[in-house]
Structure 1
Amino acid sequence: MPAIQRRTFLGAAAAGAATLALPARAQWAGKNITLLVASAPGGTTDISARMLAEPLGRILKANVVVENRAGGNGNIAGQAVARANPDGTTLLVQYSGYQAITPLVQPVAGFDPGRDLKPIGHLIDAPQVMVVRSTFPANTFQEFLAYVKANPGKVNYASSGNGALQHVTTELLKDLTQTQMTHIPYRGTGPALTDLLAGNVDLTITTPPPLLPHIKAGKLKALMTTGKTRLPVLPDVPTATETGVALVASSWFAVYGPASLPADLQDRLSAAVRQVVETAEFKRKAEEQGAKAIPMTPAELAALGTKERATWERIVKLANIKAD
């Protein structure tokens, strides 16, 4: 019986085992694998890539390096991976905003991450935290809403740029609570956070890593999180749902390859990424960042991307969000 016919008779589990048993390590042994990150060092995307790189290299017997290639609202790094040799040596560690929101606010002719990037594996999910400046006249989320409703349009919020997840999440909050706030876009989370700490803006909503030191130091007040459950690193901060607002929104970070990556290489890389994400060490590091390690199959990751794009498309249209 020809090999291709024999393969069709293997059960899914047996096929997966066969895929892993032989060439997963040999395929990349001694080679260099580049994880492209579409942001500057220090952000959550960069952190998750570096959490992955060393253990992934051990599994694949390869030299895995992280390369930061920021710009174009994620499109520069995304296009580089889409055009890369489909041998699994150039991969993208992608932020959900660039995967699901950027195509809505800053489309690039001839490139769509949902079409031109092949899902490999999910890394971490990081709910966002809403923080206000230390001098803001509210200490709870309910007090915050009362103040905003009493002062329509006078409260301003910072984001890392038009179309960023911080932007669309706050617009969703405005829609759900029927409040008015003014958007102040910055070119990155760093500048936005600097102005917030200086008291020049009132609030921001973003992932925990850059906020935690300032919350613990009392320089920012955390009023709510956007996850389904409370964050272990901020156990006293309620979720939006607990406060009566049905807002659940997370940033997620995942690995993609070129769309032309062969299915067998996709399966091997996916299995290796999953092996890393399921380790106690990776889970511990994720929790320290206020995130959760969540492995996914390529099909599950693809479905997540499709769902997220549909979710945010309504808000992008409602708020008439345009890229910078």
Structure 2
Amino acid sequence: MKMNAFIKTLAALSLGTLALSGLAQETYPNRPITLVVPTSPGGTTDFTARLISESLSKALGQPVVVENKGGASGNIGGQAVATAKPDGYTLLVAYSGYQVGNPHLFKKAPWDPIKDFTPVAFLTKAPQVVVATPSLPVSDLKELTAYAKANPGKLNYASSGNGSIQHIAGELLKQITGTRMAHIPYKGAGPAVQDLMAGQVDLIITTPASVVGQIKGDKLKALGVTSQTRLSALPNVPTTSEQGIKNFNLDSWFALYAPAGTPPDVVKKLNTEINKILARPEIQKKAEDSGTFVEQMTPAQLASFTKKEYDYWGNVIKNASITAE
């Protein structure tokens, strides 16, 4: 009888432990969540993080804090998340130029985009817009090409860092148009755009969200967009194809990743809530007004997409002979 009572007690304790364990998982999150942005404030990565942070906080019942960790072409922020505890409380709002470009640009990248991260949710994508400082005497890409050829080596273009899509786009534009321009890297699109408005640099090729307000306010000049069709946010700006520049269609994208080993139930919960947020008309309009577009994916779809993009941009970078070191 004593043995039977002892067995029953053990069984009850085991069931209680399982119940507590299940309860602990069900209560995620029970403290603040940090969205790490691997750029300075003011760029499209930062915009994307803030596009979802407030709504995600309300959905999860916990503060969702945006933390900017710019520098080293996104490697500082990326490494901070790659080495964080895989519990769903430290997440990376990744920019495609860093996430799938850096491993091909740095001989010793501090993280691997496939092995070190768990895909959570796709967020937004955006074409690029070629933007000039107001003092530059050109109004479109044809005039830019003519001016650059007449003044070889005089022009420069800014980027959010070595190896960013802006950097790659600038090198591709040089190759396609047969022009010479110097590359000036910054620690994020925000500081680069500030210097562009001040006339410290001549051009930047970046996502519309970083510059649409300044373009509409006549503080910057848009010379062309790299999408197949014109943007609703910038309806008067012609595409690169319209201006005779072929094969210059570029999209940046932004997605959420967790450290490798994050529990599947945590990933599923985040993906579900984020996709609900992205489906809201007001969120979609806010994104479109900035020149970006929301898109939804499952974690499995994002994993497949990431690998495909990793391979694609690896080929682009190799063919363009671009390095960050």
TM-score range, shorter chain: 0.7 to 0.9
- Normalising by structure 1, we get a TM-score of 0.83
In structure 1, how many angstroms separate the alpha carbons of the residues matched to 2:47 and 2:106? 25
Q: State the Cα distance separating 1:116 from its structure 2 match.
A: 0.6
Worse-matched range after superposition: 32-41 or 272-281: 32-41
2:296 aligned partner: 295
State the alpha-carbon separation in 1 of the partners of residues 26 and 60 from structure 2: 7
Whether the aligned pair in 2 keeps the contact of 1:26 and 1:60 (CA below 8 Å) is no
Corresponding residue of 1:6: none
1:282 maps onto 2:283 in alignment: yes
8 Å contact kept, 1:34–1:91: yes
Q: Is the 8 A contact 1:171 1:315 kept in 2?
A: no
Deviations 1:94-139 (A, max 9, x none): 1111101111223546621222111111111122110122232321
- Using a 3 Å threshold, how does the CA distance of structure 1 residues 201 and 63 change in structure 2: closer, same or farther? closer
TM-score with structure 2 setting the length: 0.83
* 1:180-219 equivalences in 2 (<5 Å): 180-219=180-219
In 2, distance between residues paired with 1:129 and 1:292? 14
Mapped partners of 1:300, 1:24: distance in 2? 28
Deviates more, 1:211-220 or 1:255-264: 211-220
Q: Distance in 2 between matches of 1:305 and 1:93?
A: 14
Measured after TM superposition, the shift of residue 91 of structure 1 is 1.4
Paired positions, count: 303
Which whole-Å CA distance do the structure 2 matches of 1:101 and 1:46 have between them? 19
* Contact 2:118 2:262 survives alignment (8 Å): yes
Alpha-carbon distance, 1:169 to partner:
0.8
Residues 78 and 113 in structure 1, CA contact (< 8 A), matched pair in contact too: no
Query: Kindly tell me: are residues 218 and 66 of structure 1, through their superposed partners in 2, closer, same or farther at Cα, counting changes over 3 Å?
Result: closer
| Cα distance in 1, alignment partners of residues 177 and 114 from structure 2 | 31
- Per the alignment, in what secondary structure is the counterpart of residue 153 of structure 2? coil
- 1:150 deviation in Å? 4.1
Kept in 1: contact 2:37–2:93 (CA 8 A)? yes
Distance 1:267 1:249, change over 3 A: same
Q: Is the 8 A contact 1:125 1:252 kept in 2?
A: yes
1:67-146, aligned counterparts within 5 Å? 67-108=67-108, 111-146=111-146
Relative distance call for 1:206 and 1:79 in structure 2 (3 A) is: same
Distance 1:201 1:82 in 2: 34
Match of 2:224 in 1: 224
Q: Quickly say closer, same or farther: Cα 1:262–1:43, change in 2 above 3 A.
A: same
Instruction: Report the counterpart of residue 318 of structure 2 in structure 1.
Output: 317
Report the Cα offset of residue 66 of structure 1.
1.8
Q: Give the 3 Å change call, closer, same or farther, for CA 40–103 of structure 1 in structure 2.
A: same
Tell me the amino acid that sits aligned with residue 179 of structure 1.
T
Matches within 5 A, 1:199-278: 199-244=199-244, 245-278=246-279
Alignment-mate amino acid for residue 141 of structure 2 = F
Q: Deviations over 1:269-322 (max 9, x none)?
A: 212211111111211221222211111222332233223333332343344433
- Write the distance in 2 (CA, Å) between the matches of 1:70 and 1:201: 20
Please say if 1:170 is aligned against 2:170: yes
Task: Note closer, same or farther for the CA distance 1:173–1:82 as it changes in structure 2 (3 Å cut).
Answer: same
Task: State the one-letter code of the partner of 2:118.
Answer: K
Unaligned runs of 5+ in 1: 1-21
User: Relative to 1, partners in 2 of residues 1:112 and 1:44: Cα closer, same or farther, differing over 3 Å?
Assistant: same
**Deviation digits for residues 12-60 of structure 1 (CA, Å, limit 9, x no counterpart):** xxxxxxxxxx999934254322212212223221221122122122222
**RMSD between aligned residues:** 2.5
User: Helix, strand or coil: the match of 2:163?
Assistant: coil
* Secondary structure at the counterpart of residue 209 of structure 1: helix
What is aligned with 1:19? Answer: none
Deviations 1:128-171 (A, max 9, x none): 11012223232122222233344443332222332121110111
**1:40-90 residue CA offsets vs partner (Å, 9 max, x unmatched):** 223221221122122122222333222222233222222222233322222
Structure showing greater radius of gyration is 2
- Name the CA distance, whole Å, in 1 between partners of 2:311 and 2:178: 22
Identity, in percent, stands at 49
Q: Contact between 1:130 and 1:224, CA under 8 Å: does it hold in 2?
A: yes
